[in-house]
Amino acid sequence: MKMRYIIALLIVLGLDVISSRVQAQQVPQMGDGLNSQNLWKTPGPSNFSFTQSADILAHRDVSFGVTADYYRKPLGIEIDDRIYWSVSRVTAIDFSFAIGLLDRFQVGVVLPVHIEQAGIGDSPLAPGNINTGIGAAAVGDMRIHAKTMLYQQNYNREIRGAGLALDMGLSLPVGDEENFAGEKGIIWAPSFIMDFRRQWLSAASSIGVRFRSGEKPGLADSTVGNQMAYGLGLTFHILDDKLLLGGETNLLAELDNFERMGMELRGAIGSKPLASKAITVWLTGAAGLANRDEPLLCVPQMRFTLGLSYTPSAEDGQADLFF
């Protein structure tokens, strides 16, 4: 219990410091509801750095997480065969919290904060191409996740076998849409998760959609609409979880015609250093790929993340549980 309170206090203090810095540095610009961060970190237990897991927290158990994220060149404008980087780099921190309910449900929240960013915004579209830049810091859209366990072969996360879950994500437009950190409307993002764990190996796959309400966000003559989101992850557990080696990919594709899509390929190394395995540390590096030169899907050319999470160990439960 003491560890939970210490982590919660650190998160509160960190949010206070970062919020003060954001308010001091924010410079409103002319964004149009485009969010440069499309990689969603979900709260709660997982055997992967970013891929969703079907695991659910036990009743009234809580988890906390902090993920530092640095990525380059996620968003630009192409004019006369030249790309102008509206957002050239971002350093962000995601704070996450989750609580388990009735051993079948989990509710969590994620708050992203861009503590440092750079770019020329939409100045290439302005008369005279005045380089006004974007705000040095910004608060992102808050996300709420409600996960339901559909099937879990065993509660023991090391030997439980297959798992199925449904995650209902909701992104609320509380972020700074003028500085490419938030969107205009609500995003409803349901996803279906399948995973498997057997001591030394974890594998997971998730597929979902992101439905946007209201007017589509856009830049220049292009807009971003409803999307399909797919994730795939594989983790090897070595030396009783003292060493974790993983490979992951996540893909976004426009649902209208699938002509515009992008993906990130990620390598990850992590560890659960304590005997209780409650603390997990992840370090990842990723490269972005897209099927078109138009860099509007906010898939960065490269990304590095460092994550720290606290998740209590699940108690052994009844096998073959169905919802």
Q: Where are the domains of the chain?
A: 2-317
259: which 2 tokens?
A: 């002509």
Tally the C-alpha atoms within 13 A of residue 211's C-alpha that lie toward its C-beta: 8
Structure confidence by residue, pLDDT tens digits, 50-60: 999 999 999 99
Helix then strand then coil, % of the chain, to nearest 5: 10, 50, 40
> How far is 84 from 189, CA to CA, in rounded Å?
30
Q: What pairs with residue 285 in β-bridges? A: 267, 304
Architecture in CATH for domain 2-317:
Beta Barrel (2.40)
On whether the CB atoms of residues 199 and 159 are closer than 8 A, the answer is yes
> How far is 54 from 148, CA to CA, in rounded Å?
9
Q: Is 53 helix (H, G, I), strand (E, B) or coil?
A: coil
* Statement: residue 100 has pLDDT above 90: yes
User: Is pTM, for the whole model, over 0.75?
Assistant: yes
Tally the C-alpha atoms within 13 A of residue 95's C-alpha that lie toward its C-beta: 19
pLDDT of residue 119: 87
Please state, rounded to an integer, the average pLDDT across all residues of the chain. 83
On whether the CB atoms of residues 146 and 107 are closer than 8 A, the answer is yes
Buried b (16+ CB within 10 A) or exposed e, 197-206: beeeebbbbb
Structure confidence by residue, pLDDT tens digits, 252-273: 998 887 778 899 999 999 999 9
> How far is 43 from 196, CA to CA, in rounded Å?
19
> How far is 145 from 57, CA to CA, in rounded Å?
13
* Statement: residue 187 has pLDDT above 50: yes
E strand or H helix at 260: none
